[in-house]
A and B are shown apart, each in its own frame.
Chain A
Amino acid sequence: MKTLIIEMIEPKRLGELVTVSREFCEQPDMVAVGAGQIPGSFGKAYQVADTVAANLVSDLASLILKEGYEIVLLTASTLGSGIAAPLSVKLSAPVVSEVIGIKPDLVVERPLYGGKAVATYKLNKMPAILTIRRKYFEAADLQGFTDSSPLSIAEKKVALIAEKEEKTEGIPLEDAEVIVSGGRGIGAAENFTMLQDVADLLNGAVGASRGAVDEGWVQPTQQVGQTGKIVAPGVYFAIGISGASQHLAGIANAKCVVAINKDEEANIFKRARFGIVSDYKKIVPVLIETLKEEA
């Protein structure tokens, strides 16, 4: 099946989509969004400098029709969600978002009800548009580079004024083997320094629940969960996090969850491998001391 990937030049995201594309074709084509060289080997590659989804939809639709693409793959991301739904209406195409599984014969799976259920769909028409949830498919190793031809944009609906990168010191959440996450139970922004200490000592990254983000204690880029980062670390510390299904949806692929919560009934213990029923303020400082002693 003729497959088109639409993605920013970000090797891991792109690599995951390449893995997914192999379910449909040998070599996909690619629209690279943004500047830079395109890593990996694609049949044809196009490149567009404009990174605002709303400006791309029309010309992407024309390209898909002209070239006869049957499967269109995007990451479930800000860019992907900005493109997928409007594109589906333009093309009268089916769209399934947050896909976590691909089966033969155009059957795909996605979670609903905050990950408490999984739905299986059969796509009955092509082109079909899929946004793929991160960390469910191993990223393909992208060898070499592909030359691209420019994709021009006819109508600029929305202007990009500025972009701001949130500085992450150390390892990005998505790549961390150890994540130390805090929730509303952490109680104050400054208490997150304790979690940072643990993360530093274990060469990990600090994450958070939506509860902590809503309180303004941490940046939204640190939110873990179905509407935050999808992560797959070796160890995930959930500290002062109740374990709502929407949070757990972001750590489905974590190997080992360590929960520290003062409520023994907290749902997080149902997902945890190791549980500590305690006020985190009694345990975490001691954990830091022990790690320092052992270092």
Chain B
Amino acid sequence: MHIVVLAKVVPDYEVPAGDFELTNSRAHSRYKRMMGLYDENAIESGVQLKEKYSASLTIVSYGIKADIQVLRKAVAMGGEKLSLVLGGSDDPNVIAANLKMAVEKLEDVDLILAGQQSADMDRGIVHGMLAEMLGFAFIPQVAKIEQEDGQWKVIQNTESGSSELKFGGKAVLSITSVPENVPRIPVVRSIFAAKKKPVVQLPEIEGDAMPVDELSVDIPKMESVCEFLPTEDDPAETAKILLGRLREERLI
């Protein structure tokens, strides 16, 4: 069994809104690059499947050469190899076409896991496009994966609860975060071992860009108007002031 996890390296998503700056309509290049948060959940889910079903696990990414050092962390969590397509497009169609090319170079991929959404573009589109390009089924927001009678059984989170789904063919699953797939922290030995694992670098292919023009990217203004309530003396007084203020403004 061969499992692929799609992982994207992104600019630091923890930068607070007040410190966020753009250059050329993208996050400022000074921000440190890190693994997407949901992609880490996907890697953790992939590693657990690998351990449970003795599968092999390949990390596939489309990004820049400097991302390799971040992607090695994914390998250290339990991947066997890394396949990186070198490119800098943000277009979902172009990215999906390149990921497809990389996946097709691997043999017999049975299942592809992706993060629910990238931690920069936040769009939740690329994985579903890739699925359709490969002729795989696409299932978003997957919380749990198991094999049963030669089929995959997955739990998909929905707005009101969850669905249990089963399928026999190939699929791309987008992985949501649950307590069971909180990413493991690789031990020092794995980090060293990851440095020796194979990294395949592929030149990008030209994909058709999506017929959409990006007109602008702006940072919305956030006005800070916080009124700090006194807390030194009596918590009961603080509670009374708060409730009074909320009632004044007819909010409760």
Does A113 lie within 8 Å of B156, measured CB to CB?
no
Question: For A289, what are the chain B residues with a Cβ–Cβ distance below 8 Å?
Answer: 236, 239
| Segment of A21-29, A38-46, A84-92, A145-153 in the binding face | A84-92
Question: For B231, what are the chain A residues with a Cβ–Cβ distance below 8 Å?
Answer: 276-278, 283
B1-52 residues with Cβ-Cβ distance < 8 A to A are 11, 13-18, 20, 22, 25, 27, 38
* 7 contacting pairs across A/B (C-beta < 8 A): A113-B20, A116-B15, A163-B164, A214-B177, A270-B16, A270-B224, A278-B231
Indicate which residue in B13, B157, B178, B216 contacts A246 across the interface (CB closer than 8 Å).
B13
Q: Answer yes or no: A244 CB below 8 A from chain B CBs.
A: yes
A48-88 residues with Cβ-Cβ distance < 8 A to B are 51-54, 57, 77-79, 81-82, 84-88
A283 to B164, CA, bound (A): 41
Indicate which residue in B15, B120, B131, B182 contacts A112 across the interface (CB closer than 8 Å).
B120
Q: Answer yes or no: A35 CB below 8 A from chain B CBs.
A: no
Beta-carbon nearest neighbor of A86 in chain B: B132
How distant is B182 from chain A, measured CB to nearest CB, in Å? Answer: 6
Q: Answer yes or no: B58 CB below 8 A from chain A CBs.
A: no
Q: For the complex, would chain B's binding face be called helix, strand, loop or mixed by DSSP majority?
A: mixed
Q: Answer yes or no: B116 CB below 8 A from chain A CBs.
A: yes
Report the contact-size class of chain B (Cβ under 8 Å from the partner): 35 or more
Q: A107-B215, A267-B16, A270-B18 are in contact. Are A78 and B158 (CB under 8 A)?
A: yes
Q: Answer yes or no: B79 CB below 8 A from chain A CBs.
A: no
Does A113 lie within 8 Å of B27, measured CB to CB?
yes
Q: A116-B17, A123-B211 are in contact. Are A162 and B138 (CB under 8 A)?
A: no
Indicate which residue in A86, A158, A202 contacts B165 across the interface (CB closer than 8 Å).
A158
Q: Answer yes or no: B176 CB below 8 A from chain A CBs.
A: yes
A95-B210, A118-B218, A267-B18 given; 12 more Cβ-contact pairs under 8 Å: A54-B171, A78-B140, A78-B156, A112-B122, A120-B217, A121-B212, A121-B215, A213-B177, A274-B227, A274-B242, A276-B229, A287-B242
A166-191 residues with Cβ-Cβ distance < 8 A to B are 166, 178
Indicate which residue in A163, A202, A245, A283 contacts B163 across the interface (CB closer than 8 Å).
A163
Most A CB contacts (10 A, CB to CB) among B16, B141, B177, B229 go to: B16
A112 to B137, CA, bound (A): 27
A213 to B239, CA, bound (A): 27
A residues adjacent to B (C-beta < 8 A) = 51-54, 57, 77-79, 81-82, 84-90, 92, 94-98, 107, 110-125, 157-166, 178, 202, 210, 213-216, 220-221, 226-227, 229, 234-235, 243-246, 248, 255-256, 258-259, 267, 269-278, 282-283, 286-287, 289-291, 294
Question: For A166, what are the chain B residues with a Cβ–Cβ distance below 8 Å?
Answer: 160-162
| Segment of B60-68, B193-201, B244-252 in the binding face | B244-252
Q: A97-B125, A112-B122, A113-B122 are in contact. Are A158 and B167 (CB under 8 A)?
A: yes
How distant is A158 from chain B, measured CB to nearest CB, in Å? Answer: 4
B residues adjacent to A (C-beta < 8 A) = 11, 13-18, 20, 22, 25, 27, 38, 92, 96, 116-117, 119-129, 131-133, 137-141, 143, 153, 156-167, 169, 171, 174, 176-179, 182, 208, 210-220, 222, 224-229, 231, 235-236, 238-240, 242-243, 245-246, 249, 251-252
How distant is A226 from chain B, measured CB to nearest CB, in Å? Answer: 6
A214 to B112, CA, bound (A): 23
Does A159 lie within 8 Å of B166, measured CB to CB?
yes
Q: A116-B15, A220-B176, A227-B116 are in contact. Are A163 and B226 (CB under 8 A)?
A: no
Does A97 lie within 8 Å of B123, measured CB to CB?
yes
How distant is B5 from chain A, measured CB to nearest CB, in Å? Answer: 18
Beta-carbon nearest neighbor of A96 in chain B: B212
How distant is A247 from chain B, measured CB to nearest CB, in Å? Answer: 11
How distant is B127 from chain A, measured CB to nearest CB, in Å? Answer: 7
